Amino acid sequence: MEMGDISYQQICSARTVQSDQKGFFNEFFLEVKEGCSDKWLKHYFSQLKSNEARILSIFSDREVCDTVLGVLENVAPVYKGKDGLFSVQRRAQADKFNLLGDFKQALALANLAVMRAPAKDVDMAVDNGLSLAMAYRSRAAILINLGNGQAAMSDLKLAANYGLELKENVDYYIKLAKAYALMGETARSEISLKIAEKLSGNNIALRDAFGKELSLIKPSEKIESAVAPPLASGENPNLRGASNLVKLAETKERGRFMVAGDHLKTGDVVLCENPVAACLSPNYYGSHCHHCFERLITPVPCVNCSGIAFCSAQCMGEACDSYHRFECHFMDLFIGSGMSILCYLALRVFTQASSVESAIHDANSMYEHLCAHIESRQAEDYLQRSLMAGFLLRCLQKAQYFGRRKSEGVNPTAVELQVGAALLGLLQVLQYNAHEVFETKITEEHHFEGSKVVYVGAAIYATGAYFNHECWPSVARYFVGKKLVLTTIKPHQPNEVIAENYGPIFTKTNLKERQRSLRGRYLFDCKCMACQENWPTIQKIDKQVRFRCLTANCPNVLKFPKDISKEVRCARCRKNVSLKTSVAKMIQIEELYRKAAEDMHKQNIPQAIEQFKEGIEMFFEIAVLPHKDTIIAQHSLIKCLADGGTTFK
């Protein structure tokens, strides 16, 4: 490898640990690196053979331990706390805008009031501890005016859960009646209204006012959530989330990778898998649910911190009962460190686990079965990852992940050392096996024109990690929430590789740049067909068709005949072949592509998908890539399939 490529590789590797160079972890790493001798780094640390030995070394070796311990001893909780006074002020502003009819601004302010409001057991100094309950009640009133009965109902229930007095509370039951009415639950609306009337001393005017106000409210449009598609031929019992039509293969050169176990048709769903662990990027803490990645409309906060939000009480409960109770008080510390999303992911494998032992087992299993390129790592890379593992371990100690410690010492116990070593293993594995989770941003006017992919987080998938790269993939990848979906965009024969794409794609990037990128980021030389045949980028591909020879078992391809009425002699099998039928089919294929493109433009997406699938299936019966129109059709099919995943306007 050339010197320039080695430098590029080191830069790529470092970015998978520290994504923000302004973070304090970079200073920590440089301080340790500059404080140790080259002799120690190259002739001692680089010779250590296990992750456990590397972790033990940074905590105990005289060359570095004083610096390491000096920094890690200062690890302490840093997070956005609650602010009752701020919440009261935002709530008052929200109520004012609600009365003025500016419901959008009112909702934005009410969301801030909810996020910063302390729960009853956190702060009794403001609102007698009812700040959170009152913030939910105010937001429910705004949501009713917006016509969102379901969200209003959720907020009213949360207001009650956080201490809102229901006895003699006429206003609460009126809001409840309105929320039920907006949801179409007439019977429950009537019951709630009767309770309100009874509590008000059978006030007759109450019902008239209720009916008049309700008639002015326009129910909001229901937002349909994306639904994960079914797997082709059911789930494989040996591969979590994979179709029965695929299997795992292994070679010395390629390692483990996915192939077709049977014939696959274009459009077959070969993977629909939940992640082993997934983390939302800090850039999206204010706009997405921390747990399920759904876009936030009415955020539900953690009761202890204000730095993250959830889409529902259910997501909040699931997160706070597992991983967030250990991460909560350190969220701003993680952000301030500048650590990459892969570091969050490594930590999450532990914080979400049911026990320390199960987390160690899962982490070590990934390190054993997934590619980590341990033979190619430099001492400096191992040092950087060891220090990050040590930092994450210290955060777990301070969060009482291991229970209450008898001393405040930094040095790890035997179990903590195992966790540190497992974290170090994950930081190596995730570099090459994690997926970026994305959603598709679409415009109000059109699903495809002007649409773009937005990366919101990262995840590790047990089966998804086994799909190898090719510079033109044979599957479309999209996400339903955190669930990874892979669908074929071409037919596959048994034992044919099912290929993903890791970023560099032949349609946009030339061979030299793709190879450099893949070597630097993933440490391999790609030998896919696009690379072997050096396919030109999409602008330079001509429309020439390369037809398959029609002689049985002949792998040769033939150029488009100058005269379709005459037979063509195959140079491989030495037989004369008529391509008249193939040319006729190609005309049909082009017509299917044209109709599919029209339907795509009209946003008749199911029809477009079916026509693209039919045309692509027919193409691979008679011809081979690269073919410009077919590549465009496959790319269009990818966009149509992704429209069935998580999208937002």
Residue 233 lies in a domain: no
Residue 238 lies in a domain: no
Say whether both 129 and 17 belong to one domain. Answer: no
Which segments in the chain show pLDDT lower than 70? 1-5, 8, 121-123, 408
Interatomic CA distance for residues 334 and 390, integer angstroms: 13
Phi (first) and psi of residue 636, to 5 degrees: -65, -40
Residue 570 lies in a domain: yes
Say whether both 20 and 127 belong to one domain. Answer: no
Within 242-332, strands assigned E span 246-251, 255-260, 269-273, 277-280, 300-301, 309-310
Residues 601-626: b if buried by 16+ CB within 10 A, e if exposed: eeeebebbbbbbbbbbbbbbebbbbb
Say whether both 107 and 28 belong to one domain. Answer: no
| Radius of gyration of the CA atoms of the chain, in A | 30
**Residues 522/530, Cβ–Cβ less than 8 Å:** no
Cα 246–Cα 250–Cα 252 angle in degrees, nearest 5: 160
Which pLDDT score, from 0 to 100, does residue 14 have?
78
Residue 155 lies in a domain: yes
Residue 452 lies in a domain: no
Say whether both 59 and 94 belong to one domain. Answer: no
Say whether both 66 and 118 belong to one domain. Answer: no
Say whether both 485 and 585 belong to one domain. Answer: no
Which pLDDT score, from 0 to 100, does residue 385 have?
98
Burial of residue 50, with CB atoms counted within 10 A of its CB: 0-12 exposed, 13-18 middle, 19 or more buried: exposed
Say whether both 288 and 418 belong to one domain. Answer: yes
Burial of residue 279, with CB atoms counted within 10 A of its CB: 0-12 exposed, 13-18 middle, 19 or more buried: buried
**Residues 129/164, Cβ–Cβ less than 8 Å:** no
Task: Give, in order, the Cα–Cα distances in Å from 450 to each of 325, 440, 447, 456.
Answer: 40, 11, 8, 19
Which pLDDT score, from 0 to 100, does residue 5 have?
67
Which pLDDT score, from 0 to 100, does residue 573 have?
95
Which pLDDT score, from 0 to 100, does residue 123 have?
61
Which pLDDT score, from 0 to 100, does residue 545 have?
95
Which pLDDT score, from 0 to 100, does residue 24 have?
95
Say whether both 420 and 304 belong to one domain. Answer: yes
The residue from 215, 232, 260 where one domain ends is 215
Q: How many domains does the chain have?
A: 4
Say whether both 49 and 158 belong to one domain. Answer: no
Say whether both 108 and 199 belong to one domain. Answer: yes
* 495-538: pLDDT as tens digits: 999 999 999 999 999 999 999 999 999 999 999 999 999 999 99
Say whether both 93 and 180 belong to one domain. Answer: yes
> Which range marks the domain in which residue 398 is found?
1-74+279-433
Say whether both 306 and 391 belong to one domain. Answer: yes
